[in-house]
Amino acid sequence: MIEIFKKFIKLGLCTNYWLWFHLLSGALGTKLFLHYFTNEQAIIIVMIITILWELLEYMIDSFKKYASHEKWLYDSAGDILAVWLISIIIIWI
């Protein structure tokens, strides 16, 4: 279990060079959707968009960018977790 967590930290967060983009788009998307939807609906919409984006990313360039399913999985998990956390933070602000 510790090894999985270490791999997640390394591959999902530390070497995830596009994590800043996911944080920015998650924050802006949440802020935008809060003008039209409730807090819960805004988070759900942002999470659906994030998951669809990760699936699209996998279908388009998974082997060019990641070279393995494991790296893609950790990278995507880091992106999804980051967007979920930033959405919660935006709602609390």
pLDDT tens, the chain, 93 aa long: 888 888 888 888 888 888 899 999 999 999 999 999 999 999 999 999 999 999 998 888 766 777 778 888 888 999 999 999 999 999 988
Which residue's structure tokens are 């995830």?
Answer: 16
* pTM of the predicted structure, to 2 decimals: 0.87
**Number of independent structural domains in the chain:** 1
**Structural contact between residues 46 and 79, judged by C-beta atoms closer than 8 angstroms:** no
Tokens (6 digits) for 18? 């596009």
Helix (H, G, I), strand (E, B) or coil at 93: coil
* Radius of gyration for the chain, computed over Cα atoms and rounded to the nearest angstrom: 14
Residue 16 phi, psi dihedral angles, 5° rounding: -85, 90
